Amino acid sequence: MEILQYIFGGIITFLLAFVVGMTFGGTRRKIIARIQNRYGPPIYQNFIDAFKLFSKTSAVHHGAMHYMGPAFLMVSSVVSLMFIPILRDGGWFPNLNFHGDLIFLLYMMVFGSLGMALGAGQTGNPNSAIGVTRGLAQMVGYEIPWIMALVAMMIQFHTTSITGLMDVQLQSGTWNLFASPFAFVAAILASLGMFRYAPFNIVGAPAELASGPASENGGKYLFTMMSSHSVFAFVKLTLFADLFLGGAGNLVELLIKTFLLYMIPVLYGVVNPRYRTEQAVRWFWGWPTVFGIIAIAYAVWST
């Protein structure tokens, strides 16, 4: 019975993440459009796009990995989702958050990149391969401040689990945003790279690589990738809310917190061009890493 509960809860969580992620994506398009003096698409446009991709009637494949790439991507986002507490008390989302900790989550979250990279490699498109090298390089870039922020939190609060970090905030009454501000800054700066919006949209840079790893994927593959990206956006936002903003007691709180967090990369991205790969990687090893080191020092000092 427990297993059924998990499966059922997992599906509900997935649907929630899918809907929220897609709506956020649509909102992003709307906001960008407004900044660009346009009316913009409706905020449910992403659903239409996704369903259109889903209902494409033909597809091509280049081999087994072509199928498995999007599947790996989905594994990364959905499994990460299932190990993150959505609400503080679980409620309708009885997921597996007591069964994994942050380090597990770190690996689970980077797994998608590698899996997608394999799928992109099978297509044999040179643009895909170049996009993959860029994506992996960028990943190594932003993982450094990100792990620093997480390690700082772990040291400061003596726990490596997300639920532990949420409990700490509940007990002390302050958000970790204030308890370890530098870690928050480092993590947010790293998140700019994770979201891959400008100036870090170097992987699928259209003017350079014609959408990079996704070049050969249309229809059902792109649908899977799009859903996975939406879910993953939700995962990242919820994780940030859990780690730094004390989690959420109910859905409204969750939506407000995640939306505010989502606006940081979105609004930063609208007004910036794209970095070159090595510039992006170096950017992450500049100030974000400095903040990460300060965060660790602060954590050591404060415990």
Partner 1 sequence: MREKATTLYLGPQHPGITGNMMVRLKVEGDTIVKATTEVGYLHRAFEKLAEKRNWLQTFTLMCRFCVPEPDPMEESYSRAVEAIEGRIVPERAKYIRVMMLELARIGSLLLWHAGQAGSTGLYTVGQWTVGDRNYILDLFEELTGARIYHMYIWPGGVRRDFPEGFADKVLKTMDYLEGRLKDYDNLMFENSIFQKRTQGVGYVSPKQIIERGVVGPVLRGAGIRSDIRIDDPYEVYDKLDFKIPTETSSDIWGRALVRREELRQSIRIIRQVIEKMPEGAIYNKVPNPQKWTIPPGDALARTESSRGEIGFYVVSDGSNKPRRVHLRGAAYVHAMTLLEDVLVGQNISDVSTIMNSLGTCAPEIER
Partner 2 sequence: MNVIFLILILFLVGAIVTAFAGKWSSLLQDGLFILAVTIPAVLFFTQVEMNQLVGWTRGGIHLELGLTPFSYFFAILVLLLGVASAIYSVGFMHGKARKSYYYFNYLLTIMAMLGILFSRDFISFFVFWEIMTWASYLMVVMNGTRTQEIGIKYFVFSAIGAYAMLMAIVLIHAQTGNFLIQDFIDTYPSLAHGRQILIPILLLVGFSVKAAVMPLHVWAPGSYAYSPMSFTSVFSGALSKMGIYGMVIVFVTLLSHLPEGGLIRDIIAWMGAMTAVIATLWAIAQDDARKLLAYSSVGQLGYIVIAVAIGTPMAMLAGLFMAFMHGLFKGALFMVVGAVEKQTGTTDFTKVTGLIRKMPWTFLTALISIIALAGIPPLGGFIGKWMLYESLILSDHYLLVIVAFFSSTAAFLYAYKFLFGFFLGQEEEEWADVKEAPITMLIPMLALAVGSILLGAFPQLILKPINNGLISLGFSDSYGKLWETSTLFNEWGDKVVLQPIIYAIMGVFLTTLAFTYFRNRKRTRYVSTKDISTSGEIPLAHENLTFKENFFQPFLRAVEPVMKKQIDWYYREFGAGLEAIFNFTRRIYSGNGQTYALYAVIFLIVLLLLNGNLFGQ
Partner 3 sequence: MQNDSRSQKIVDIIQAYARRHSLWILAYGTGCGAIEIPSTMTSRYDAERLGVRGAATPRQADVLLITGYLTVKTLKRVIRVYEQMQSPKYVIGFGSCAINGGMYWDSYNTIKMLDQYIPVDVYISGCMPRPEAVLSGFGKLQDLIKAGVADGPKRYEENFDWYRANQKKIIKNWNFADYNW
Instruction: Lay out the site mask for partner 1 across 137-176 (x = CB under 8 A, - = otherwise).
Output: ----------------------------------------
- Rounded to a whole number of angstroms, the minimum distance from the CB of residue 54 to partner 2 is 8
d(CA 57, CA 110): 32
CA count, 13 A, side-chain hemisphere, 93: 23
d(CA 184, CA 240): 9
- Rounded to a whole number of angstroms, the minimum distance from the CB of residue 33 to partner 1 is 8
Q: Which of 23, 25, 118 is nearest to 75 (CA)?
A: 118
Q: Determine if 127 is a binding residue for partner 1 (CB under 8 A).
A: yes
Residues 86-105 that bind partner 2 (CB under 8 A): 96, 98-101, 103-104
Q: Which stretch binds partner 1 (CB under 8 A): 7-15, 28-36, 107-115, 233-241?
A: 28-36
Among partner 2, partner 1, partner 3, none, the one that 171 touches (CB under a kind-dependent 5 to 8 A) is none
Omega before 213 within 30 of 0, i.e. cis = no
d(CA 283, CA 255): 30
Residues 195-224 that bind partner 1 (CB under 8 A): 198-199, 201-202, 205-210
CA count, 13 A, side-chain hemisphere, 40: 17
Q: Which one of residues 210, 267, 270, 293 is an interface residue with partner 3 (CB under 8 A)?
A: 210
For partner 2, the closer CB: 149 or 179: 149
- Rounded to a whole number of angstroms, the minimum distance from the CB of residue 202 to partner 1 is 8
Q: What is the 3-state secondary structure (H, E, C) of 94-162?
A: CCCCCCCCHHHHHHHHHHHHHHHHHHHHHCCCHHHHHHHHHHHHHHHHHHHHHHHHHHHHHHHHCCCCH
Q: Which of 254, 176, 291, 185 is nearest to 17 (CA)?
A: 254
Q: Which one of residues 38, 52, 282, 302 is an interface residue with partner 2 (CB under 8 A)?
A: 282
Q: Determine if 222 is a binding residue for partner 2 (CB under 8 A).
A: no
Q: Which residues bind partner 3 (CB under 8 A)?
A: 29, 33, 36-42, 45, 48-49, 51-52, 54-60, 204, 206, 210-211, 214-219, 222
Q: Which residues bind partner 1 (CB under 8 A)?
A: 32, 35-38, 126-127, 130, 198-199, 201-202, 205-210, 270-277, 279
